[in-house]
Amino acid sequence: EGGELGYVLVHAFGAAFDNPDLIVAAVVGDGEAETGPLAGSWKGTSFLNPVRDGAVLPILHLNGYKIGGPTVLGRSSDEDVRAVIEGNGYEVHFVEVDEPVQAHQELASTLDTCYDKIRAIQRQARTTGFAGRPRWPAIVLRTPKGWTGPKVVDGLPVEGTFRSHQVPLSEVRSNPEHLKMLEEWMRSYEPEKQFDARGAIVDELADLAPHGDRRMGANPHANGGKLTVDLDLPAFDQYAFEVGRPGTQRCENTRPLGKMLRDVFSSNSRQSNFRVFCPDETNSNRLGDMFDVENRCFVGTTIDIDDHISPDGRVMEVLSEHLCEGWLEGYNLSGRHGLYVTYEAFAMVSASMTVQHTKWLQEATELSWREPVPSLNVLLTSTCWRNDHNGFSHQGPGLIDVMLSKRGTVARIYLPPDANCLLSVADHCLRSRNYVNLIVIDKQPHLQYLDMQEAIEHCTRGASVWSWAGNDIGCEPDVVLAAAGDVPTKETLAAAKWLRERIPEMKVRVVNVVDLMTLFPPEHHPHGMNETQFVDLFTAGQPVVFAFHGYQRAMHEILHGRMNAERFHVRGFNEQGTTTTPFDMLVLNGMSRYHLAIEALKRVTRIRPQAPALIAELESLIQKAVAYSRDHLEDVPEITDWTWS
């Protein structure tokens, strides 16, 4: 239906990866060619290995116009168009004729030529071995816009102009002249020669159509679930971080996942149906253990100092979020599995692509003939709370908001509090079908809380009470401290510990949420808790101080409609950021342990007499921490060295 353009070529390359016999013909309009993602997609030839991948045949269709004006490439000379496309590694074949019949013949001949060139490139590479990036063929087809349609309507030229876009005859119901022109236009195609008296296509033409899986709509590559082979996943618990006492040991949260992904590559090497897509951040995101068995894919020139670069690699690094996401979408839609990893803030570069993919999945689930495809798995690291030397531009949890607005049939959001929970969530997501799974967790060293069995149980429930962190056993709490996200979890636990030590008569419950969608009512999301389950966690009427990884207004959106929703007091990211220390980021956004404790003290009426002095003490601690970070350019030791013990 048109709409959001720019992805045809990147999807084509995604489908061609690890598909050695497939040729993907990608028709690119000259309007679409002006979009940023499409302009970047020509680089795909630098990642397409003729030994093990299929091929992409771009067909750039230049008809000269968009909706209301000319296109850049449509008005460019053949020489300039050739320079653009050849500069991206293609051999260009032009098709430009004046008569429709001649166009069919010339395009068919050019397609045959390009097919032969593609197969020759592949045959040589697969016989003698990889010998560098080949020069793949591409076609440039020039035709007038609205060709064979009405030439003039209401005295204005239409064929060959922007006026032929969409509906050139818009008043056929009310304007007899328009209706007559429409009939003449349709009769110009001689339907009496193409259909019999019953309206069926004549046998002579029907026999020309492909049969079986060769039909475009029946091609299994276009219904990738038919071709999907389950991943051979290693037991994720073997990568567990050994947790003794909760909250006393540190680990880079994503490091164990990198080891697991390394073995996913190894165990699926024969079926070649798994790739990781990441914009130049694999090592930064602590996933470098994958390079024990895999390389970064690149078929261009390499030099001796390159690190884990090979034309055979399946770690796809290109500094374009559009390409990373688009390649994975094409890879998923043709039946294979993968993971897109990027810095949290920069996921917004490709957020609209994520939205469009959820729309496609939503519609696909309504069609019984469409087989489920592997889920689009997105891992966001380098989060807004821990950017260290990076600043405000790197601080933005907006993809959570984007995903919250999508239908519950396809959207999933996970905020693992530690490494073991991440392993459990990742295993679940890699096994799933027809979802967009968003996983958000930081890559830096963080405290670890749950052993593997506890992590599995917690992730299965999606949210649970951490009884070891509270002091409300056997009674109703005065306040519930809730958290979703790794940094919010730490701050919530620190707030709970401070309150338990300074005012032990105040009963505190700690709730942790890993599956954000469990907070929705069940009528809005299939993971949503019913009211009884919700009350079991958060009580029916006690105040809840909720530390949330993302924008705090998003949490209020989730909780809307819950009983006494006004009792939830949310702290989260408020677009306050800079290059500063981790704790100062929390202070700037009002989500530090001290802010959470202050909020709890304000909400518990029965300890109101003690509250002012305690709040003053907490405010003094905030001032001390901020002053220390300004003087020393690092956080105060009682913050950086804090543990639960």
Residue 193 sits in the same domain as residue 283: no
Helix (H, G, I), strand (E, B) or coil at 618: helix
Residue with tokens 């490494």: 419
The larger pLDDT score, comparing residue 387 to residue 422, is at 422
Residue 433 sits in the same domain as residue 479: no
With a CB cutoff of 8 Å and minimum separation 6, the contacts of 345 are: 382, 384, 393, 394, 395, 396, 397, 398
Q: How confident is the model at residue 2 (pLDDT cuts 50, 70, 90)?
A: low
d(CA 95, CA 243): 66
Q: How many CA atoms lie within 13 A of 365 on its CB side?
A: 16
User: Using an 8 Å Cβ cutoff, are 18 and 53 in contact?
Assistant: yes
For residue 123, is pLDDT > 90?
yes
Which residue type is seen at 403? M
In a domain, 214, yes or no: no
Q: Say if pTM beats, i.e. exceeds, 0.85.
A: yes
Residue 560 sits in the same domain as residue 435: no
502 is written with which tokens? 């300074």
d(CA 406, CA 486): 24
pLDDT of residue 458: 99
pLDDT of residue 93: 99
pLDDT tens digits for range 155-183: 999 999 999 998 999 999 999 999 999 99
pLDDT of residue 97: 86
Residue 319 sits in the same domain as residue 246: yes
Residue with tokens 């618990």: 237
pLDDT of residue 517: 98
Residue 197 sits in the same domain as residue 294: no
Residue 486 sits in the same domain as residue 440: no
Q: How confident is the model at residue 1 (pLDDT cuts 50, 70, 90)?
A: low
For residue 437, is pLDDT > 70?
yes
Average pLDDT on 613-622 reads: 98
pLDDT of residue 317: 98
Residue with tokens 């994958």: 290
229 is written with which tokens? 């082979």
Helices 8-16/321-333 angle, 10° precision: 60
The larger pLDDT score, comparing residue 392 to residue 545, is at 545
The secondary structure element, H or E, covering residue 116 is helix 100-128
pLDDT of residue 238: 98
Distances (CA, A) of 349 to 239, 320, 344, 357: 32, 9, 10, 15
User: Using an 8 Å Cβ cutoff, are 218 and 212 in contact?
Assistant: yes
Residue 408 sits in the same domain as residue 539: no
Residues in the chain, how many?
645
The domain boundary residue, chosen from 387, 415, 446:
446
587 is written with which tokens? 């202070």
d(CA 322, CA 349): 7
519 phi/psi in degrees, rounded to 5: -80, -20
Residue with tokens 């500069």: 87
> Which of 2-11, 198-207, 432-441 has the largest mean confidence?
432-441
pLDDT tens digits for range 339-390: 999 999 999 999 999 999 999 999 999 999 999 999 999 999 999 998 777 8
pLDDT of residue 217: 86
pLDDT tens digits for range 587-608: 999 999 999 999 999 999 999 9
Helix (H, G, I), strand (E, B) or coil at 433: strand
Residue 442 sits in the same domain as residue 467: no
Residue 477 sits in the same domain as residue 609: yes
Residue 378 sits in the same domain as residue 511: no
DSSP codes, 43-64: GGGGG--TTTS-EEEEEEEE-S
Which residue type is seen at 199? G
111 phi/psi in degrees, rounded to 5: -60, -40
Rounded mean pLDDT of the chain?
97
Residue 432 sits in the same domain as residue 287: yes
105 is written with which tokens? 């013949």
Percent of the chain with pLDDT over 90: 96
What is the number of structural domains in the chain? 3
Nearest to 471 by CA among 450, 449, 499, 448: 499
For residue 297, is pLDDT > 90?
yes
With a CB cutoff of 8 Å and minimum separation 6, the contacts of 116 are: none
463 phi/psi in degrees, rounded to 5: -160, 145
pLDDT of residue 330: 99
pLDDT of residue 148: 93
The domain boundary residue, chosen from 395, 420, 446:
446
| β-pair type (249-252, 445-448) | antiparallel
What is the radius of gyration, based on Cα positions, of the chain? 29
Nearest to 423 by CA among 234, 184, 639: 234
d(CA 453, CA 123): 51
The secondary structure element, H or E, covering residue 412 is strand 411-414
Average pLDDT on 275-291 reads: 97
In a domain, 316, yes or no: yes
Q: For 76-85, 224-233, 577-586, which range has the lowest pLDDT when averaged over its residues?
A: 577-586
For residue 16, is pLDDT > 80?
yes
The larger pLDDT score, comparing residue 99 to residue 492, is at 492
288 is written with which tokens? 């470098």
User: In CATH, what number is assigned to the domain containing residue 603?
Assistant: 3.40.50.920
Quote the domain boundaries for residue 67: 8-148+189-209
Residue 623 sits in the same domain as residue 501: yes
The larger pLDDT score, comparing residue 290 to residue 2, is at 290
Nearest to 152 by CA among 161, 142, 143, 144: 161
Nearest to 406 by CA among 441, 365, 370, 367: 365
User: In CATH, what number is assigned to the domain containing residue 126?
Assistant: 3.40.50.970
